[in-house]
Structure 1
Amino acid sequence: MQKLQTVNAETLLYEPLEKPSFVVDSLIPTGLSLFCGSQKIGKSWLMLKLCLCVSQGIPLWDMTTMEGDVLYLCLEDTFCRIQDRLFRLTDEASGRLHFAVASCKLSDGLIVQLEDYLKDYPDSRLIVIDTLQKVRTASKDNAYASDYGDISLIKDFADRHSLAVIVVHHIRKQNDSDVFNKVSGTTGLTGSADATFVLEKEKRASDTAKLYVTG
């Protein structure tokens, strides 16, 4: 059995430790973030815009970005649909932005696939998984344990490599004064994430939306 590794308070107090950095200044930290919203609200459009900005090192909403390679797993899309969105968002895309429309599940090799990707692109700053449900398998386990276990696999990967991983997820169709209570699933998801974002419109047909963040 491996010996428990400990550190005393005096050592920890004076030990210089590297603080988490931000891929988008003051908004998106390294580590795991959940990005949630109802269907067809514009989550994928916003994620693509974010990926374009980071891959080119250009600001997002006047906030500086940390330039680097980006992987966007568009698991509910086709390359044709991604191409159409690119045409609508930009005249010039970076070769540092990479797309995939299929991947393994968390239970059968996704983390290994991501590790292999990083070997080819070691300067990666951001990975987006769109959506969480596409990389999960049905489980008979306790719902909280299942949520916590799945999201912890992704968080551990993000922390090991000091990069930002954003997992796109849905919200429930219910009213709640706390928007973060609308995140589909148990608190095992939001409790494990370093940051949680919720994109919400007051009216479905509205041209504007509010982005809530906690973390």
Structure 2
Amino acid sequence: MGRGIEFNTKNKVDADALLENIAVQAQATQRNDMISADELLSMEFEPLEFVVDGVIATGLTLLVAAPKIGKSWMALDLAYQVARGGKAFGVIPVQPRPVLYFALEDGQRRLNARMRKLGCCKTAGLYFITKTSDIDADIDDFMQVHAKNHPLVIVDTLQKYRETKPASRNDSAYERDYSIVGGLQRRVLEAEGSLLILHHDRKAGSGDFVESVSGTNGIAGSADTIITISRPRVAADAVLSVTSRDAMEGEYAVRFDDGRWVLEGDDLEQAAQAVVQARVHARNGDRMNDVLDCVTKHPHGVKPYEVSESLGDISPNDAAKCLSRLSKQGLITKLKRGVYAPIA
């Protein structure tokens, strides 16, 4: 007889365990998409796509501000710039893509007037809906027609959309909010598009701008990106705060200029520096701010007597004291003895 494989009780137990393990994994594969860490780390993905670089990533974005602050103006200009491949916030180039704007709080007359004030020209790929009996169907149709071009849908406002969704007696407020916003998020991601939803903030102030989102945490928790606008009602200057699952967090100085929101500076980095500078000014007195502004204009360094000559109403001795104090606060840098420069 030829030499065969000898099976013992242990072999049989091992084989049975292996078969059971295979069966369990087969069932799990049908139930979920479990993947090992090694497999995940070996995968390569396309770079994340942005509607507006550094600010609005693909997915669902909440734009949050108090009523009558100007968020509809911001959304309208964004819609126009994105549709035509212009510049968001006056300086950030964007790739053109189809845009559908649900202006559910406005009529065609107001939209017409605002577009004219913004200097909009006729633009292919930009569409508006002010009245609808089925907003979900409208979104699905638009996403399907323009699926290859990563469309953007803007809903103004979330409250108007929520009014189309009858409340369930069994759902808590959190469950309803999460279901509504989460449902919108899934609808858009499946179509590889993006959704910008305008929403009001809480009346009570909050130190955390995410906490300023009105409603339950189900709304903020479902969003991929949250953008808030903080602006005193009579002021033109504001801060745009951004937090995201995919984009960098940041705060950027913006200005409301005759209907159009524009960044302070030539890019996001300069706009972020402008926020820091404004807060420094708020903490310092007028004299310290004057000296700080003077140093900012001299990137290669400035001496106390030069500050005195530039400002005209401060002695070299007082200028030296201000420069020393600003340096100790970390607001300027000391290049060498008696020479100060802005922080690079």
**Is 1:57 the equivalent of 2:85?**
yes
Unaligned runs of 5+ in 1: none
The one-letter code matched in structure 2 to 1:208 is D
Quote the offset at 1:41 in angstroms: 0.5
Give, in angstroms, the shift of residue 138 of structure 1.
4.8
Indicate whether 1:44 and 2:81 are aligned.
no
Asked if 1:113 is matched to 2:146, the reply is no
CA contact (8 A) 2:144 2:191 kept: no
Which of 55, 58, 69 is the equivalent residue of 1:27? 55
TM value normalised by structure 1: 0.91
Deviation for aligned residue 1:190: 1.0
Q: Taking structure 1 as reference, are residues 86 and 124 closer, same or farther at Cα in structure 2, changes over 3 Å only?
A: farther
Q: 1:49 and 1:112 mapped to 2: Cα distance?
A: 25
Task: Measure, in 2, the Cα distance between the counterparts of 1:144 and 1:103.
Answer: 26
Superposed, 1:166-181 pairs within 5 Å as 166-181=196-211
- How many angstroms does 1:98 deviate by? 0.3
Q: Deviations over 1:35-87 (max 9, x none)?
A: 11111110110000001100110111321212111100000000000000010
Of 153, 156, 163, the match for 1:127: 153
Using the alignment, how far apart are the partners of 1:153 and 1:42 within structure 2? 27
The 1:209/1:9 distance shift into structure 2, 3 A limit, reads same
- Output the TM-score relative to the length of structure 2: 0.58
* 8 Å Cα contact 2:80-2:120 kept in structure 1: no
Q: Give the Cα separation in 2 of the matches to 1:95 and 1:124.
A: 15
Q: Which has the higher contact order (CA 8 A, sep 6+)?
A: 1
**Mapped pair 1:142 → 2:172:** yes
SS in 1 for 2:88: coil
Distance 1:182-1:199 versus aligned 2 partners, 3 A rule: same
Deviating more after overlay: 205-214 vs 30-39: 205-214
Give the superposition deviation at 1:91: 4.4
Structure with the larger helix share: 2
Gaps of at least 5 residues in structure 2 are 1-26, 245-344
Q: Residue 69 of structure 1 corresponds to which residue in structure 2?
A: 98
The 1:44/1:10 distance shift into structure 2, 3 A limit, reads: same
| Residue aligning to 2:192 | 162
The whole-number CA distance in structure 2 between the counterparts of 1:95 and 1:152 is 30
Deviation readout 1:19-50 (Å, 9 max, x if unpaired)? 42101111111000001111111011000000
Which deviations, in whole Å up to 9, do the C-alpha atoms of 1:188-213 show, x marking residues without a partner? 11111111011121x22112221111
Q: Distance in 2 between matches of 1:6 and 1:208?
A: 48
Quote the offset at 1:112 in angstroms.
2.6
- Give the 3 Å change call, closer, same or farther, for CA 148–32 of structure 1 in structure 2: same
SS of the aligned residue for 1:144 comes to helix
Give the RMSD, CA atoms, in angstroms.
Answer: 1.7
Q: Distance in 2 between matches of 1:50 and 1:88?
A: 14
Q: Distance in 2 between matches of 1:70 and 1:135?
A: 18
Partners of 1:144 and 1:86 in 2: how far apart? 37
2:223 is the alignment partner of 1:193: yes
**Of 94, 98, 113, which residue of structure 1 is paired with 2:127?**
98
Q: How does 1:73-84 map to 2 (within 5 A)?
A: 73-84=102-113
